[in-house]
Each structure stands twice: as C-alpha cells, then as structure tokens.
A and B are shown apart, each in its own frame.
Chain A
Amino acid sequence: MLKKSIALALFTTVITLTVSFYNRSVAQSDIITSDTLTSLAQEAIARGESEVSSSLSITFNEATSLDAAFARDTLIVGTPLVKKSYVVGNQSIDTWYKFRFNETLQQKTIYASVDDAPSDMLPLAADEFLVVVPGGEQFIDGVHFILSVAQFPSFTINQKYLLFLNYDASKRVGTIGGGPTAIYTVVYPDTLASIFVDSDGMPIGSPVSDGLYARFGNSLNQLRNTLNPPPPPPACDPDGSLEQDCNLNGGSWNFSTCHCSVSNPCSTSKPWLCDEPVY
C-alpha cells in the first residue's frame, strides 16, 4: 500500500510539475512585445553594456524632380546654431536644431503637419527658425542611446546649408521630407554640395541634386537669380549710367519713374546751410 501511495504521489507530482512547466513555458514564450527604447536599454543593462546603437531605415518623401521640389518645398539658406535631442513616444529620438536665417529663396505652404517646438527651444529670435530631424542621442535609464537614420547624417553647427523644407511659417518649424537629398552644404562662396554620399564620401545621385548640377552648376547664386530674378533694367536707363551718375551725385535713383532725387541741403532741418551770406 505504502509503495502504491508513494508511486501515486510521485506520479501526481510528475504530472503537476509537467503541467506547471508547460503552462509557464507557454506563458513566457507565446507573447511577443515590440521593442521600445526602454526595453532595449534594459537589455543592454542586462548584458552589462552602457551604450545602445540602433538604426532606422525609412523611405523619405523625396521629390521626384527638381521642379517637383520647387513646387512643393520652402527653400531656406540657414546655419544651425544649437541642437537638442528628445525621446519621442519611447520608440524614437528626434533632434531639434535652432537655425539662423541667412535667406529665404522661396516659401510654400506645408504639405504635412509639423510638431510643436519643445518649450526649451523657445523663444526664437526674429532671425531664427527650427528644424526637426529623426535620430539623435539620449540617456535612457542611464544607458547612452544612439539612434541613427540610414544615410542621414547630423547637421554641423555653424555650417551654412540650403534646405528643401516642409516649413510651417506660423510655428517657424520645418521638417526635411526629402531626407538627405534635400540638404546641401553651401561651400564658400556659393557652391552647393550634397550631403547624400556613400561611405567613401562620393556623392549619390538624386533627381534634386542632379537637377541642381545640370541647371545651376551647383551655384547658389544662379539658383537665387532664377527663383528671385533681379528687376530688369528700366527702358530709360538700359545701361545703368543714369543711375550711376545719380548715385555719384549723392542722389537716390527711382527705377519706376526714372527720376533722380537729390536731397536738398537747404532744408528746414539744416537752416544754417540756407542762411550763408552771399559775397
């Protein structure tokens, strides 16, 4: 009897343990949860690491031709001054850059809504605007998290850029829908150089960069003159000689009336000039 009891106890124990392990293994293995930056940071901590690298591969909303980019994008020449990265929804990191306006070549309305600026990037001076790009660095649970975006390098502070932006003028915030094909460094004095390069630093062609080269010889000046051509010379002064004479005589040339206005020194504000005795 005792032997039967022991056998029964052993049998039930084995059955119970088997069912228990089976249920536990089912509970542990049948659930898949998406990674978050926090979970990746925790995994790094478990591995004894203090740094995590991730890379996003996404498809940018690139313009299919230079004319399509002109029709859609706001073109601004600007210089990044400061940057700051933020965790977004525990799945991504964004980096916000504060830019100084150098010039606006053309302005278009936004084609996709843009985020509100982080409060600590505000207020903006009159000659400043913001650009937000994916990727960046942040510390998450003490782990240094680096999120890069394939083929999309960060901006260099104090470098001048031409940007093809989805730009919200009311917020003064822009996004770079075209990704790396929408960013060009302005190399002294006015040459545009694409940042879309391979690991050897060789440029990778794109419809926009190919168009800039073919039509403007990568010259910012030529691009500027095409988008905002200078006023044509007036018919009354085709060679500009009248205007030059006017300027030499201290006058102000009016293009629309073809008239030179020379300020009268004998004005009410300078009466002593009018009261000089005549000998």
Chain B
Amino acid sequence: MGKIILSLLLGLYSLGLITYTLSEVFLAEGACTNCYGKETAFAGGKGPNGEASTPSNRYVNVGYDNSGGANAFTGNDATKIASAIGTASNAWNGAKGEDNTSEVPYTFIPSQNGNKVNVKIALVDKVPGDKDGGSCGGFLANIVGGEIKGGTIYILKSTMQGQTADQIAKIVEHELGHFMGLANIDLSKMNMCESIMDRSTGDGCALNRSISKGDVSTVIKHADNNQGCKRDRNNKVDRVEGGGGGYTDPTPIWYYPPTCYYFYDAVDYYYCYDGCRYIGTVYYLTDVFCY
C-alpha cells in the first residue's frame, strides 16, 4: 500500500516537473519583457460612441497635439503622426499573446477629440528629463492614487524629420507599451528576444522591433493586478534620506550567515629519555565565537 502511494506521489511530482519545464520553454519569450509593479492599470476611457470601458475592453483614445503651440504637429508632420497612430493602434489591437488567442485588454482608437483623448502625443526638441540625448521618445504617465490615468508621448522633432511614418509608428508602439505598464528591456538582455520594448539595433532612432507574444502576455499580466511585475515606475523621490551622517546600508540584506571563530590551545608533547624527542601537537578547542 505504501509503495502505491509513493509511486502516485512520484508520478504527480514528475508530472509537475514536466508541466513546469514546458511552461518555462513556452514562456521564455515573455520572460524578457518586464512590467511595472505597485500600480493600477488604466481603467479605460470612452468608446467611439461614448460607451464605457470594461476590464476586458478598455478604450484608449490616442491623439496628437494640434493646438498650434510649441509642441504641436503641423503640415506634413501632422499627416505622418496621424498615420503612425493608426498603424500603432492596429498593431497593438491585433497582437496575440503566447496562447495565440489572447489579446491586450485595451482597444486603441485614433482620436482628435480633445474631450476624450487619454494619451496625447507632443512634439519636442528634447525629451523632458533626458540629459544626454539617449532617448528617441519618452512617456510621461499621469498617476492618481497609484492608478494610470493617461499620459503624454514625446516624439523628437529630429525623429519626425528623419523617420518614415511606419518608423514613427514603432516608437509610438513602444511608448504605448510604457502606457500599458511595460518597462524597457534591460541592456544586458538586448537582442535576446523579440520585444517592442527592446532597443534599436539600427541607426539613430529607427526602431526595428515588433510587438511580441511575450509583450502581449506581459501587458495582460500587468492589467491583471500586475502580479509578478517587479520594475519600479514610481520611485519615491525621497525614498531614503540620510541627513544624520554616518554609514547607511543601501541594499538591506535579509539574512547574514554567521561567521564563527574557533580558538584552540596547542600543546606540544615530548618523550624524554636520554634527551627529549618531539612526538606531536594536540589541539584543544577552548572557545567558539559566532557573529
């Protein structure tokens, strides 16, 4: 009887291992894409006819600045960005997850209705916050009570002039990824897997990446209470303050293994008969201190 139970347990264990291994193989692509934790995903805006969003279908109206101000798109740039928004929206709306059926719970709608727009696109000389020219675009998330309420995508003027509408669409897709909670692919994982959140391997700001199944699955994970999302979008600016001087451990370690010091007395023994001869040394443990 005992052998039967043990065999059943071992069988279940093996089955679990196989399932885990298979899931790791098929989820490997998604492992590259990281998402922001400790935040609530955008709940959704108004649909094309004013209908409300639902958790599985969140409308996102995307429009560009046409105010005529310093950050507005005009003329050919306006035509190009309108085309890019349409292409990027279709790309995300049609993308499938790792199971080949699931989709992001967002529906992107190009819209120039100022009363509805949730994500605005602004034309800038320099991405705000970018001190050294590393960014071809950027995304500013508006956060209220820990919930994403909308945001602004920044597109460089030089990028608008140097890239086609389809290339601009790639940048918009990347920034919409940030809106949906995706973080940049780490530089140490660059080129390791397909992701729209990876960096360009081309010249300048030509982003030669595409939305992957892993990207879609990670967006779904983020929208679903962002369980397992471990990147930090909303760093507390005043996270730690020293002020009092002295040493501060910046990376708390949960467990320090103890270090023990052993103290011995060494006693040499001699055999003495017609002179003395060394026999050996015996060590006696006298103290142990562990810290």
List chain A positions with a Cβ less than 8 A from chain B.
Answer: 28-35, 40, 44, 47, 49, 52-62, 64, 88-89, 91-92, 94-95, 111-112, 114, 132-137, 146-154, 156-159, 166, 175-177, 179, 181, 185, 187-188, 193, 195, 197-207, 210
Contact = CB atoms under 8 A, between A and B. Distances in A.
B248 A56 contact: no
Question: At the interface, is chain B mostly helix, strand, loop or mixed?
Answer: loop
B123 to A, nearest CB: 8
* Central interface residue in A59, A91, A176, A197, by most chain B CB within 10 Å: A59
A152 B134 CA distance: 15
Given A158-B245, A205-B188, A92 B235 contact: no
A206 B138 CA distance: 21
B243 A157 contact: yes
Nearest to A34: B122
A132 B130 CA distance: 11
Interface in B233-247: 233-247
B112 A198 contact: no
Nearest to B150: A35
Give the size category of B's interface with A: 35 or more
Nearest to B136: A59
B248 A156 contact: yes
B76 interface: no
* Central interface residue in B69, B132, B136, by most chain A CB within 10 Å: B132
Given A55-B233, A59-B184, 16 more contacts: A28-B114, A32-B64, A32-B117, A52-B144, A56-B141, A134-B130, A149-B235, A151-B231, A151-B235, A156-B241, A156-B250, A158-B242, A158-B246, A166-B131, A199-B37, A206-B188
A64 B238 CA distance: 29
Contacts of B89: none
Shortest beta-carbon contacts, A-B, top 10: A61-B134, A134-B129, A177-B132, A92-B128, A34-B122, A158-B242, A175-B131, A198-B230, A33-B67, A185-B250
Given A159-B242, A193-B251, A199-B230, A136 B237 contact: yes
Interface of B: 36-38, 63-67, 69, 71-72, 112-117, 120, 122, 124, 127-144, 152, 175, 178, 183-184, 186-189, 199, 230-252
Contact of B186 (A31, A158, A193, A204): A204
A145 B216 CA distance: 32
Contacts of A204: 186
B131 A30 contact: no
A180 to B, nearest CB: 9
Contacts, number: 216
26 contacts: A30-B112, A32-B63, A33-B67, A49-B144, A55-B140, A57-B138, A59-B135, A59-B136, A59-B138, A60-B132, A91-B124, A112-B132, A134-B128, A135-B235, A148-B233, A148-B236, A149-B235, A156-B240, A156-B242, A156-B250, A158-B244, A187-B249, A198-B230, A198-B231, A201-B251, A205-B189
Nearest to B189: A205
B131 A177 contact: yes
Contact of B241 (A44, A47, A157, A179): A157
A146 B234 CA distance: 9
Given A32-B67, A206-B187, A150 B134 contact: no
B65 A33 contact: yes
A91 B128 contact: yes
Nearest to A152: B235
A270 B42 CA distance: 84
Contacts of B249: 187
